[in-house]
Amino acid sequence: MVGDTTACVIGVVAALSRFPVKSMAGEPLAEVELRWPGMHGDRQYGFCRLQDQSRFPWLSARDLSGLVLYKPAYRDPGDPRNSPVNVVLASGDRLPVGAPALAAQISREARSEVRLMQVGRGIFDAMPVSLASTASLAAIDAAHGKPLDVRRFRLNIIIQSEQGEMAWRSGRLLFGEDEQGAQLLVNAGIPRCALITIDPETAERDPSVMRTVAGSFDNEVGVYCATAKPGTIRVGDRVRLFGQETARR
């Protein structure tokens, strides 16, 4: 329960992002609606490789680094279910996400025919919400010897905190001042792949980033979370942790 005496303030929400199109750039937000499937509008679209009959047919930046340079955004950020999505290309041109010209360009770059799909519940590799603390991100910068753009890690939520997010596993996070506010159940650490080597500004790959994360952080950055209670999360919200004792029993 939220009134558990073990509840404690761990920080505040520093940044929010959602990703309208899988593997493309994120859309920074001041607030977002947390629903049972995850952040409303997150990873609603993805491009599938037509010749791929596997369980993972999605074209991702692992296959085409340049996907991170495409910048999608909902025209109406508050209503992603009904809002059209525009995508800004690296050239500066803007196209609707469903434009045949966009699929054709991505097909040329990927050297494989793709088509757009929309999945209402979101297209996730594992769990729907990813989260990390500023303390952990600062530790990665220190281990790497220089600052890394946090967009490499494709996080939905960054919490300004002196604690690392791994300390919050098996607990619940409550956002805002309202005791009935949005809640996330914190699950496992996020195993990282080659996406973190891709520079979000240039799409160039730097394998040393993976070496740092694998060697110093057991190849985990951030934690996966699932919705425990829907609600609105805002930048600046106070974040409280509770329920770890109950979860361990």
Amino acid in the structure at residue 144:
H
Asked if residue 5 has pLDDT above 60, the reply is no
Distance separating alpha carbons of residues 60 and 208, to the nearest angstrom: 21
Mean pLDDT of the chain: 94
| CATH numbers and ranges of domains, the chain | 8-248 (2.40.33.20)
* Confidence grade of residue 2 (pLDDT, cut at 50, 70, 90): very low
* Confidence grade of residue 113 (pLDDT, cut at 50, 70, 90): very high
What tokens does 192 get?
């990282």
CB 128 within 8 A of CB 171: no
* Confidence grade of residue 6 (pLDDT, cut at 50, 70, 90): low
> Which pTM was predicted?
0.93
Q: What's residue 101's pLDDT? A: 98
User: Which residues have C-beta within 8 Å of that of residue 46, sequence separation ≥ 6?
Assistant: 21, 22, 23, 58, 59, 116, 117, 119, 123
Q: What's residue 106's pLDDT? A: 98
- Classify 149 as helix, strand or coil: coil
Q: What's residue 53's pLDDT? A: 85
Asked if residue 242 has pLDDT above 50, the reply is yes
Residue identified by tokens 């792949």 is 193
- DSSP annotation of 67 reads G
Q: In the 3-class helix/strand/coil scheme, how is 223-242 assigned residue by residue?
A: EEEEEEECEEEECCCEEEEE
- Rounded to the nearest 10°, the torsion over CA 50, 114, 203, 71 is -140
Q: What's residue 237's pLDDT? A: 98
Distance separating alpha carbons of residues 20 and 87, to the nearest angstrom: 10
Asked if residue 1 has pLDDT above 50, the reply is no
CB 231 within 8 A of CB 182: yes
> What mean pLDDT do residues 157-183 have?
96
* Confidence grade of residue 243 (pLDDT, cut at 50, 70, 90): confident
Q: In the 3-class helix/strand/coil scheme, how is 156-219 assigned residue by residue?
A: CEEEECCCCHHHHCCCEEEECCCCCCCEEEEEEEEECCHHHHECCCCCCECHHHHHHHHHHCCC
> What mean pLDDT do residues 92-107 have?
97
> What mean pLDDT do residues 2-7 have?
56
pLDDT in tens, 11-28: 999 999 999 999 999 999
Asked if residue 246 has pLDDT above 60, the reply is no
Asked if residue 125 has pLDDT above 90, the reply is no
What tokens does 67 get?
């996907």
pLDDT in tens, 27-60: 999 999 999 999 999 999 999 999 988 888 999 9
Q: What's residue 205's pLDDT? A: 98
Nearest to 111 by CA among 51, 192, 41: 51
Asked if residue 247 has pLDDT above 80, the reply is no
What is the number of other CB atoms lying within 10 angstroms of the CB of residue 222? 23
Distance separating alpha carbons of residues 45 and 25, to the nearest angstrom: 12
Could you tell me what percent of the chain has a pLDDT over 70? 96
